[in-house]
Amino acid sequence: MQKAIALLKAHDLLRVIDEPLDIDLEIPHVAYVEVKKRDSKALLFTRPVSKRLGKEFKTPVLMNVFGSHEATNLFIGKPADTIAEEIETLLKLKPPATLGEKFGMLAKLFHLKNVFPKRLSGKGACQQHIVTGDAVDLYDLPILKTWPQDGGPFITMGQVYTQSLDGERKNLGMYRLQVYDKNHLGMHWQIHKDSANFFHEYHKAGKKMPVSIAIGGDPLYTWAATAPLPHGVFELLMYGFIKGESARLVKSLTNDLYVPEDADFVIEGFVDPMKLRIEGPFGDHTGYYTLEEEYPELKVTAITHKDDPVYLATVVGKPPLEDKYMGWATERIFLPLLKTTAPDLIDYVMPENGVFHNLIIAKMQTLYPGHAKQFMHAFWGVGQMSFVKHAIFVGADAPDLEAYEDLSDYILDRVQMDNLLISEGVCDALDHASDAFAYGGKLGVDCTANNVHFPQKELIDDTALLRLIRELEPSVEAIKQYKTYTKTPICVIAVKKQEPIKNLYERLEPIRKHTKLLVFVDAEKNDLENPYMLIWRVVNNMDATRDIFLQKEYIGIDATNKGEIDGFPRRWPDDTDCDTAVIEDLRKRGIIDLDDDFLKRFYITRSG
Ligand SMILES: Cc1cc2nc3c(=O)[nH]c(=O)nc-3n(C[C@H](O)[C@H](O)[C@H](O)COP(=O)(O)O)c2cc1C
């Protein structure tokens, strides 16, 4: 981490904050607002304190290391597209025809020898200081409590190292870890993830599961921990491939797992597979809290660290945040691998306000009827891509995937009922909108067809349309129309919900001659003038099997929060809102500098 700090400084990508700041809310809130800025920097907090524990920490806290495209490229070592090209070249390796090609191939294969991690003997720098047994105290680390309703402090950038019961397969994953007490951590590996898979093997065998958690070291380990590699593929291979150098590992002191020798901290221990414990709530990267669920618990047997360690952390919540940049690198690097299952895929994006699994837009070459629908099934069947709730497919002639205005015009000119696919399946364990945990609706929209003919709508302005709507439905508080010049004009309707939204959609049927797509949101929670946060809300809150109403040329989407009125069987979580008093105090002290407009734009202290 000290090297990472020097690199960030050299590129003017670091701000150092020497003011004492609390690990509960203050430090996370500062990092949260910083990374939303266009010119955001990594932050080094040199004087973390805890009022709760009555402590001042010697270890500084580093946040937002991946807080911009520039910093992400810096730590990944080269542009993400270059890595994608290297992967593509490897995937397309053909037998060499000439001597020159033979040498070229040899060079590529020689480079691959560095992919495999190297095991070193003896202790590593990460073991310069060792605490074991009863002396272990997680409260000696400046572990942050990021959100007001969080169940406690959480390690947010832990590299979690595990292995299969027979020791043959290794895994590195990034999962948040809740601090329960001085030597117990909650292991939030979600049901579909690789360590959860290993956990089942230990559970079946009734054997304790070793786990080691590294924090810090080369930032590329941290990114690799988030990479969605297939089950059984060790993420440190990806590290070696990208870096062109093997990861150098040392053995943990109290279990058999190997960890990077240059990590800043290592927490070692064992999970008792027979014991689960309530984990959460935690303000998550969807911008909502994830509610309490049972997860395994780790008993910590040792904490080791380097001389001068730095504690690395991140904050997740409403977009845009650091995971936007980490996810962007993943999106680019994994394009060639995705193409192996979907060969006519040209490109794809996961817009940041779709928080990854909620929205994907993919550009493809269509060659036969149903090609886009074939891709929908393929995507929903591949690894972590299967969590995607809403997938829109556009043709090769579509605008650039990041030219969002032009792209949305293209899409809206092609949305037709016959080309929607509503399905159901696996969804992200964090999804709060589906009726069941980790299982819910999927929407695929095929916008690859050109020459789509729609009847022209009789457009009227917002004031006239609102008057008409209120005559039919007095409970509507406000409306705003978007993209009325396209073939799918959108009308966003803010309501104070008193009955299921489907009733309103049916009562508003007479307005179908003026608009095509009705999107219902809660008046209290949303700002109709803020399309960025509206999209975040809509794709978060809908479950396609329940919340889409379809009649020819008249489509309704219920993006309101669900509850008793809707017969929703689960608890609906709150948004992750910063503590207003903490934000105001940080502003007064000059630690954060932002105007009211910025607060509103990103729903920082409250929504809408
Ligand atoms: C900031 C951040 C926090 C994350 N937290 C979790 C988590 O708590 N639990 C989880 O299962 N995945 C979490 N993830 C996603 C995993 O890191 C990701 O799915 C990874 O590929 C899992 O590795 P695995 O497939 O080896 O299990 C997080 C990702 C990021 C970027």
- Which pLDDT tens digit goes with each residue over 234-269? 999 999 999 999 999 999 999 999 999 999 999 999
Q: Does domain 2-79+109-313 have CATH number 2.30.110.10?
A: yes
Percent of the chain clearing pLDDT 70 (strictly above):
98
Q: Whose CA is closest to atom 4 on ligand 1?
A: 175
Give CA 345 to chain center in angstroms: 23
The stretch 199-207 carries a mean pLDDT of: 98
Structure tokens at 585: 């105090």
Return the best residue to mutate from 171, 172, 197, 226 for the ligand 1 pocket (most ligand atoms within 8 A of CB). 226
The stretch 485-511 carries a mean pLDDT of: 97
**Element (H or E) spanning 304, and its range?**
strand 293-305
At residue 139, does pLDDT exceed 80? Answer: yes
Task: Categorize the per-residue pLDDT at 109 as very low, low, confident or very high, splitting at 50, 70 and 90.
Answer: low
What count of other Cβ atoms lies within 10 Å of the Cβ of residue 475? 12
Residues with catalytic roles:
284
Task: Categorize the per-residue pLDDT at 80 as very low, low, confident or very high, splitting at 50, 70 and 90.
Answer: confident
Confidence at residue 63, expressed as pLDDT on a 0 to 100 scale:
98
Structure tokens at 347: 């490109």
Span of 61-65, 380-384, 451-455, 578-582 with lowest mean pLDDT: 451-455
Confidence at residue 40, expressed as pLDDT on a 0 to 100 scale:
97
At residue 608, does pLDDT exceed 60? Answer: no
Sheet holding 420-426, edge to edge: 345-349, 360-364, 390-395, 439-447, 420-426
Task: Categorize the per-residue pLDDT at 455 as very low, low, confident or very high, splitting at 50, 70 and 90.
Answer: confident
In terms of CATH, what superfamily is 462-566? UbiD C-terminal domain-like (3.40.1670.10)
Q: Which atom of ligand 1 is nearest to the CA of 194?
A: 27
Q: Which atom of ligand 1 is nearest to the CA of 316?
A: 1
Most distant CA atoms of the chain, gap in Å: 80
Alpha carbon of 231 to ligand 1 centroid (Å): 13
CB distance 281 to ligand 1 below 6 Å: no
Alpha carbon of 173 to ligand 1 centroid (Å): 6
Fold that domain 341-447 belongs to in CATH:
UbiD C-terminal domain-like (3.40.1670)
Q: Are strands 293-305 and 129-132 parallel, antiparallel or unpaired?
A: antiparallel
At residue 105, does pLDDT exceed 70? Answer: no
Residue 493 sits at the vertex; the CA angle it makes with 490 and 499, to the nearest 5 degrees, is 130
CB contact at 8 A, 180 and 150:
no
At residue 603, does pLDDT exceed 90? Answer: yes
At residue 106, does pLDDT exceed 70? Answer: no
Q: Which atom of ligand 1 is nearest to the CA of 323?
A: 31
Task: Outline which parts of the chain fall under CATH 2.30.110.10.
Answer: 2-79+109-313
Task: Outline which parts of the chain fall under CATH 3.40.1670.10.
Answer: 341-447, 462-566
Closest CA relative to residue 178, chosen from 205, 150, 202, 199:
150
CB contact at 8 A, 443 and 427:
no
Alpha carbon of 160 to ligand 1 centroid (Å): 10
